[in-house]
Amino acid sequence: MLQICPKCKKLSCTWCIDDNSPLTQWGCGCGWHAFEYENKERNCPVCRNEKSDSYMVENGIMYWWCCHCGRIELIDSNPLQSID
């Protein structure tokens, strides 16, 4: 299922599950790629869509990304080692 890429804003972003990792891997033909922490999804505070806000990590940068409305919210005070 294709989603709107947060980088190029085209409907060309896909995910795949890595058997060796608890994370979902996202990627797009434009070069964007990120990992999603599946257990941290939440309802989007903007469009109110259920469980569409995903906790993404891209090169050590963490942000909430809603695959429904495309909103991105950077998380800057949340060190990676606190995630279990």
Residues near Zn ion (CB under 5 A) are: 5, 7-8, 28, 30, 32, 44, 46-47, 66, 68-69
Question: Which residue, 10 or 78, has its beta carbon nearer to Zn ion?
Answer: 10
Shortest Cβ 60–Zn ion spacing (Å): 19
- CB closer to Zn ion out of 47 and 83: 47
The pair of structure tokens assigned to 18 is 């890595």
CB of 69 to Zn ion, least distance (A): 3
Encoding tokens for residue 2? 């294709």
- Indicate the residue among 8 and 57 with the shorter CB distance to Zn ion: 8
DSSP alpha helix (H) spans, 1-84: none
Min CB(66)–Zn ion separation in Å: 3
Per the listing, tokens 């990304």 go with 65
Cα–Cα distance, 72 to 64 (Å, whole number)? 6
